[in-house]
Amino acid sequence: MDLKLKIWRQAAQDAPGKFVMYPIQNISSEASFLEMLDILNEQLVAKGEDPVAFDHDCREGICGMCSLFINGKPHGPDAAITTCQLHMRRFNDGDTIVIEPWRAKPFPVIKDLMVDRTAFDEIIQAGGFVSVNTGGVPDANAIPIKKRNADLAMDAASCIGCGACVAACKNASAMLFVSAKVSQFALLPQGKVEAKERVQKMVAKMDDLGFGNCTNTYACEAECPKEISVTNIARMNREFLCAKVS
Amino acid sequence: MKLYSSLTKKYIMSLAGLFLLTFLLVHLTINLLILVDDGRSLFNTVAHFMGTNVFIQTFQWVLFGGFAIHILFGFILQIANWMARPKRYDKKAISETSFFSKFMIHTGIIILVFLGIHLADFFVKKIGGTVPEIHSGDLAGIEDMGILVLEKFKMGGYVLFYVLSLLFLGFHLDHAFQSSFQSLGLNHDKYTPFIKSLSRILAIVITLGYITIPVCIYFFK
């Protein structure tokens, strides 16, 4: 298939950027989206041009490194997948595909389509861990945990921290990410010990970094490759309120 | 404004909003009384009570506070939201979302403009003492707020402006009511679907309730 790619090019963080059109021919519908970009880059390198920088690592939807805002959607048109799991069969011959980096003040563009997601690491560093001594490995049944809570904690923990929630949110809010990280601990006994301090520190860090506020629009949930539920946001709102008043 | 966390601002916004919703319901109930009798005596009696009762008059200031807080925090939150994405996307985001939630600031501003005009039309005239008095009957001596309403709602342009403004209020409420519960951390499989339905029902009932009054007066009175 033959395509036109409209790609954001930006030489460095403080350099001005612009869109550049790249026509590309003979792309297999079986190629993945990132393979298609690899082909483009090989052609650019052969011509002596600067290849398009984009983030990727595992290429199997686990690591959370790939990003890309494709035709108005983070991770492209399909639901519940990352960009690396997107295939060219999802597009039609002759399509123009607009590829942009995540846009948010706390996610500055490093180069082309790569953004700096250190802000997420800083939120985790503010409290997204358990620091109480939990001892050696206990017997699996020594601590009774409700099946429902174990499932909810596991669902929250499936967040890969890719930042699609921030990219999709009209306010560039990080509420889905932070609430998933708060929830995965708050639901389990080891995490409950520090739950109050954790939620306050993580929210404070999120605010400091300049993420927007939640309008309960739920674009984050619609675009999350791991289908993290907005009920986590309600849980964080609840945890934070309880922490503030008790 | 770093005085409050983003979540605390949302709690304040939600609580103020829910408080204003109770005001809307009380205001609507009283407004509907104007359709009860042709002589407007029931409406005028209640309007007079609302305008003179010490408790209501004191509580009025709490209501003004509620409006001020909801409007102020609405703008503070929205400005922070705009600042969080200084460079916008070329291709507009097309994610599946709750539609009206994307336009809360826009519907909010329309309601604010309406509120200003509405206060100037009724509240300011009442305070300024320029409302005509009733000269005969049991209610002689009190203001005829009802005639003020009838005069306004006999003007086609005003009715159209009122109806359109109230439609935008309905759009605002459709998202607002259920969203406030999520912001306050109240989300559960058991009651969230009910709250979402109730949100839509409230939005429709309040909007239709308010719209009925000018439409009835314009066409039938």
A132 and A234 share a domain?
Answer: yes
A155 and A103 share a domain?
Answer: no
Under an 8 A CB cutoff, do B5 and A218 touch? no
A207 and A173 share a domain?
Answer: yes
C-beta separation of A153 from A100 below 8 A: no
A142 and A218 share a domain?
Answer: yes
CATH number at residue A65: 3.10.20.30
A241 and A152 share a domain?
Answer: yes
A100 and A147 share a domain?
Answer: no
A125 and A238 share a domain?
Answer: yes
Q: What percent of chain A stands above pLDDT 70?
A: 100
**DSSP for residue A5:** E
Strands A109-111 and A114-115: antiparallel
Chain B residues whose CB is inside 8 A of the A8 CB are: 90
Listing DSSP states for chain B in one string gives -TTS-HHHHHHHHHHHHHHHHHHHHHHHHHHHGGGT-TT-HHHHHHHHHHHH-HHHHHHHHHHHHHHHHHHHHHHHHHHHHHHT-SS--SSPP-----GGGGGHHHHHHHHHHHHHHHIIIIIHHHHHT-SPBP-SSTTTTSB-HHHHHHHHTTSHHHHHHHHHHHHHHHHHHHHHHHHHHHHTT---TTTHHHHHHHHHHHHHHHHHHHHHHHHHHHHH-
Under an 8 A CB cutoff, do A213 and B77 touch? yes
Q: How far apart are the first and last CA of chain B?
A: 51
| A61-65, B8-12, B51-55, B138-142: the lowest-pLDDT one | B138-142
Calculate Rg over the CA atoms of chain A.
20
How far apart CA A109 and CA A10 sit, in angstroms, is 8
Residue-range definition of the domain harbouring residue A68 = 3-43+51-110
Q: Which helix (H) or strand (E) holds A7?
A: strand A3-9
Domain-by-domain residue ranges, chain B? 6-84+101-220
A26 and A79 share a domain?
Answer: yes
Which of A206, A207, A216 lies nearest to residue B183, judging by beta carbons? A216
Which of A64, A85, A110 is the last residue in one of the domains?
A: A110
How far apart CA B77 and CA B73 sit, in angstroms, is 6
> Does A168 contact chain B (CB < 8 Å)?
yes
Instruction: Give the number of other CB atoms < 10 A from CB of residue A155.
Output: 19
Dihedral-angle region of residue A194 (phi above 0 means left; psi in -120 to 50 means alpha; beta otherwise): alpha
Output the average pLDDT for chain A. 97
> What length does chain A have?
246
B194 confidence band (pLDDT: 50, 70, 90): very high
> Which ipTM was obtained for this model?
0.94
Chain B residues whose CB is inside 8 A of the A230 CB are: 182, 187
User: Which has more pLDDT, B102 or B3?
Assistant: B102
Tell me what pLDDT residue A162 has. Answer: 98
A229 and A152 share a domain?
Answer: yes
Q: Residue A173, SS3?
A: coil
C-beta separation of A82 from A61 below 8 A: yes
How far apart CA B180 and CA A216 sit, in angstroms, is 9
B136 confidence band (pLDDT: 50, 70, 90): confident
Taking only residues 175 to 204 of chain A, the set having a beta carbon closer than 8 angstroms to any beta carbon of chain B reads 203-204
pLDDT at A45 over 70: yes
How far apart CA A118 and CA B94 sit, in angstroms, is 26
A64 and A130 share a domain?
Answer: no
Tell me what pLDDT residue B139 has. Answer: 86
A47 confidence band (pLDDT: 50, 70, 90): very high
pLDDT at B88 over 60: yes
Which of A73, A89, A110 is the last residue in one of the domains?
A: A110
Provide the number of structural domains found in chain A.
Answer: 2
| A93-97, B34-38, B66-70, B155-159: the lowest-pLDDT one | B34-38
CATH number at residue A169: 1.10.1060.10
Q: Could you read off the pLDDT of B155-164 as tens digits, one per residue?
A: 999 999 999 9
Which of A90, A110, A130 is the last residue in one of the domains?
A: A110
Chain B residues whose CB is inside 8 A of the A80 CB are: none
Which of A100, A211, A234 lies nearest to residue B84, judging by beta carbons? A211
How far apart CA A40 and CA A201 sit, in angstroms, is 43
How far apart CA A56 and CA A84 sit, in angstroms, is 8
How far apart CA A212 and CA A103 sit, in angstroms, is 12
CA dihedral A174, A176, A177, A179 (to 10 degrees): 110
Q: Could you read off the pLDDT of A108-119 as tens digits, one per residue?
A: 999 999 999 999
Tell me what pLDDT residue A94 has. Answer: 97
Q: Could you read off the pLDDT of B152-186 as tens digits, one per residue?
A: 999 999 999 999 999 999 999 999 999 999 999 99
Instruction: Give the number of other CB atoms < 10 A from CB of residue B64.
Output: 10
A160 and A89 share a domain?
Answer: no
> Does B93 contact chain A (CB < 8 Å)?
yes
Q: What are the φ/ψ torsions at residue A22 (nearest 5 degrees)?
A: -125, 110
Q: How far is B117 from chain A (nearest CA, A)?
A: 28
Instruction: Give the number of other CB atoms < 10 A from CB of residue A118.
Output: 13
Q: What are the φ/ψ torsions at residue A99 (nearest 5 degrees)?
A: -120, 120
Q: Which of B5, B7, B11 is the mutation pick for testing A, counting most A CBs within 10 A?
A: B7
User: Which has more pLDDT, A246 or B85?
Assistant: B85
Q: Could you read off the pLDDT of B17-60 as tens digits, one per residue?
A: 999 999 999 999 999 999 998 889 999 999 999 999 999 999 99
pLDDT at B1 over 80: no
Report, as an integer, the average pLDDT of A174-195: 96
A136 and A233 share a domain?
Answer: yes
> Does B83 contact chain A (CB < 8 Å)?
yes
Q: Which helix (H) or strand (E) holds A112?
A: none
Under an 8 A CB cutoff, do B90 and A234 touch? no
User: Which has more pLDDT, A177 or B3?
Assistant: A177
Q: Which of A103, A105, A169, A216 is the mutation pick for testing B, counting most B CBs within 10 A?
A: A216
B2 confidence band (pLDDT: 50, 70, 90): low
Which of A104, A217, A239 lies nearest to residue B97, judging by beta carbons? A217
